[in-house]
Amino acid sequence: MYCMDLTGKVAIVTGGAQGIGKAIVDAFLECGASVAVADREVKQENSHEHLVYFKTDVTKRNEVEETVQQVTKHFGTVDILVNNAGISRMDYAIDIKEEDWDLVMDVNAKGVYLFSQAVARILKEQGQGGKIINISSQAGKNGYRLMGGYVASKHAVLGLTKTMAIELAQDGINVNAVCPGIVETDMKHKERVLGGELRGLTAELIKQEDYSQVPLGRTAEPQDIANVVVFLASKYSDYMTGQGINVTGGMTMH
């Protein structure tokens, strides 16, 4: 990949052990940053000297704040936060179980709020600006069948992004969101299987349906999303804040 220089920067990436999050972590490391992964899954051995893992439940304030403290203790600072951790549950809106609704909102929206709050306070104290990048979705701009809770949570992420962008602008902190389209991850595969069962279709037919909706003719790979996140983490995005950037192959254009 083409790297924008992030040498000397310290980033926290939530949900960075797999999927889009892992691609972001790998891209940051390649561009010279030090990275702390906050995830429910942790590796026993780090394969990179500038990479550390913290077992963290993004829905628990005490764990979030402890992780942020440990990151600043380990690296001496924090410059970039990527709120990537996310889950989905599928059902028709009138059938969504309350516990599924609560879990999706807690991970996808509350987790963003908790980590953003903890990191923003440190960035303000440091007085050197910083970057907060939230992974929303094109589901934060559109409605999709069987995805009511997920859609609601990703709309919430965009709303918080815009509000924090206004509130933190005077501190030189840029807050933006990335809105991926259909990305080939384990989570997407599971959605196709369950969505197919609910609609009486096979996962393969759902995949073909996905492809047919993308003007560029293919779905995204995690690296496609990571490339845009690297840009938002770099100095080249310093005059951008409060944006929800589509990375959808043209599937969403607003």
**Catalytic positions:** 150
Q: Cα–Cα distance between 252 and 179 in angstroms, integer?
A: 9
Alpha carbon distance, N-terminus to C-terminus of the chain: 27
Decide the pairing of beta strands 80-83 and 51-55: unpaired
Q: Are 150 and 253 in contact (CB under 8 A)?
A: no
Instruction: Using the structure block, give the residue that is written with the tokens 């942020």.
Output: 68
| Measured distance CA(36)–CA(18) in Å, rounded | 14
CA distances (Å), origin 130, targets 38, 42, 78, 207:
18, 26, 8, 38
Burial of 97 (0-12, 13-18, 19+ CB in 10 A): exposed
Question: CA 38 to CA 225: how far, in whole Å?
Answer: 19
User: Which stretch of DSSP H or E encloses residue 28?
Assistant: helix 19-30
